[in-house]
Amino acid sequence: MVPAIKDLSQLDDPDFFLEVSTGIKHVTDVVRGLDAAAQVASSARLDHPSRVLDALAKEEASKVFILLDAVRCPRKRSEDRARTLGYFYDHVAKGIYADSANWKPANYAEVQRIVTNLREEFYLDGPYDLDWIFPNQITQHRNSNLYVDYLRDDTESSSGGPRYWSRPVAETGFKYWTKSVVGTALAIDDAGVATPEALAIVAKIWRPFTAEANTSYEEIDARVTQTIHEIRQLRPQNDSACAAERMIACCWPWPLWSLDLRVSKVSKEGLREKRRHWSPH
């Protein structure tokens, strides 16, 4: 068996919506289990296991956003849709989607700036913002929460500085809570957004639209509101999903299908040079 997620982009809409609907249901089933297990582990004060489950739940939940973005992508933008579906296997791209549930940008230019920063292979940071070279922040955060590792500081030179062990560190009073990406993914399932009929509505509302730098929050909010309203009509009159709809309205990310979310190459030597010009030493 080989990964075939990009093959979905070759399907006509009825089959595409059916497969995406099935995929979202599978993902949300897994996310519910991970979320519940993380709650149990946290209650038992099993810090590292609960953080591992938290990381897995967020990463898996991001796949719901990826699939919905593939639905929002215009049919004629087949390369963008295939690239977006390929993010299923990309930890950085999934991390960006997961993080995007917390963003409150004023316009799409701000979204683009955030994505540019999160994609960087290496970056400078520290007390003065230029103290040390770090690897991609999504990868760094993910690995530091999950794994023991042996690392080398390459800030000063390519030959490297001190070596040291890194391990997940217990946080005093750590308590698991359901993150926005997880809550929104589950809300999408609860509100019926993932049915084939609802996905057809998502496509109808979003495919004619491509976000530009000056696209405002109000424009995105209006389309999300319209989407929720039209999908609500598919449910029985006595079937209320108010809490789920509020979560979707608050945290469904802006369309990211037009952006490259893969790691962007950065020169370590260029960062060292920038740091040398700054350093008081």
Same domain, 131 and 46: no
Note whether 191 and 220 are same-domain residues: yes
**188 and 165 together in one domain:** no
Q: 183 and 92 in one domain?
A: yes
Judge whether residue 280 has pLDDT over 70. Answer: no
What is the model's pTM?
A: 0.92
Do 88 and 19 share a structural domain?
A: yes
Helix spans in 103-195 (H): 108-119, 137-146, 180-190
- Is residue 149 classed as helix, strand or coil in its secondary structure? strand
CA 164 – CA 160 distance, rounded (Å): 12
Give the per-residue pLDDT at 207.
98
Q: Is residue 258 assigned to a domain?
A: no
User: Are both 30 and 93 inside the same structural domain?
Assistant: yes
State whether 182 and 218 are in the same domain: yes
Determine, yes or no, domain membership for 112: no
Q: Are residues 28 and 138 in the same domain?
A: no
User: So what's the pLDDT on residue 172?
Assistant: 63
- Given a cut of 60, is residue 208 above it in pLDDT? yes
pLDDT at position 129, please? 73
Is the pLDDT at 130 greater than 80? The verdict is: no
Residues 86 and 185 grouped into a single domain: yes
DSSP 255: P
Is there a single domain that holds both residue 22 and residue 133?
A: no
pLDDT confidence bin for 162, thresholds 50/70/90: confident
Closest CA to 62 of 33, 104, 103, 90: 90
Number of domains into which the chain is organized:
2
Q: How far is CA 57 from CA 29, 94, 131, 156, in A?
A: 11, 11, 33, 37
Across the chain, what does the average pLDDT equal?
A: 92
**What share of the chain in percent tops pLDDT 70?**
96
Q: How many CA atoms lie within 13 A of 280 on its CB side?
A: 1
Residues 15 and 91 in one domain: yes
The pLDDT value given to residue 276? 81
Full residue range of the structural domain in which residue 234 is found: 5-103+174-251
In a domain, 256, yes or no: no
> Is residue 114 domain-resident?
no
| Same domain (yes/no): 246, 183 | yes
Give the per-residue pLDDT at 267. Answer: 85
